[in-house]
Amino acid sequence: MNIEDCKVGMGVEPKHDIGAIGVSKSEKLVIRKVEKDTNGGCEGYLYFDGKGHVGVSAEHFEPANKFKVGDKVIYRYYHGKICDKVRYCGEDSKGNPIIEYDNGYVTNNVDYSELSPLKKPDELEVGDKFKDYSGDTVTILAKENNAVNITYYFGKTNSENIDVWSHLGVDEIIYD
């Protein structure tokens, strides 16, 4: 990870165990301080709460989340029963994600396990639903990719009609 990408309050994960600060690969850390290296040894050092005053080179870390500020994501809550499209706004000082609803309401009472990226029309799976160009809701029964990068979906509409759509015919993905 480049030192320019590191910000105070950002969540990161080590690429491997780091004995100098007693951190395992699976542990998530929140950056307390970012210090650029002026001696040329490396790009810079990251410091973390509860890990002493030892700086670790930024190259040993990667972002803990896979979202960029401004990304539209799906927020699933109430045990995954309710889904909303929201905007990812970053992390608070404790490493919790901050999201914003379309109406402007902002919250950090969220866990990363409740967030997922929006799917692209050619990434749908069996059981997913979408609206086609005519507004029909389609449930995907099977999926097939061909040699020219076209994904075909075999699906059933609300009126029980079975047909074939390419991913180019997906007008809106339904998240439920």
Q: What is the pLDDT of residues 139-162, one digit of tens each?
A: 999 999 887 888 999 999 988 899
Question: What proportions of the chain, in percent to the nearest 5, are helix, strand and coil?
Answer: 10, 45, 45
Q: What is the mean pLDDT of residues 105-115?
A: 87
- The class that CATH gives domain 3-63 is mainly beta
Residue 100's pLDDT band (cuts 50, 70, 90): very high
pLDDT for 40: 67
pLDDT averaged over the chain?
85
- What Å distances lie between residue 10 and 28, 42, 103, CA to CA? 10, 20, 26
Exposed/middle/buried for 131, CB within 10 Å: 0-12, 13-18, 19+?
middle
Domain spans of the chain, in order of start: 3-63, 72-117, 121-174
Answer whether residue 80 shows pLDDT above 70: no
Q: What is the CATH number of domain 121-174?
A: 2.30.30
pLDDT for 136 equals 92
Q: In sequence order, what are the beta bridge partners of 115?
A: 75
Q: What is the enclosing helix (H) or strand (E) of 171?
A: strand 170-174
pLDDT above 80 for 82:
no
Q: Output the CATH code of domain 72-117.
A: 2.30.30
Cα(31)–Cα(21) distance, rounded to whole angstroms? 13
At position 125, the amino acid (one-letter code) is E
Q: How confident is the model at residue 14 (pLDDT cuts 50, 70, 90)?
A: confident
* Tokens representing residue 153 in the block: 């979906």
Q: What angle do CA 51, 54, 59 make, to 5 degrees?
A: 100
CA angle centred on 91, ends 70 and 4, rounded to 5°: 75
Q: What is the dihedral of CA 70, 81, 126, 158, to 10 degrees?
A: -110
The angle at the Cα of 19, spanning 14 to 25, to the nearest 5 degrees, equals 25
Residue 81 confidence (pLDDT) above 80? no
Does the pLDDT at position 98 exceed 70? yes
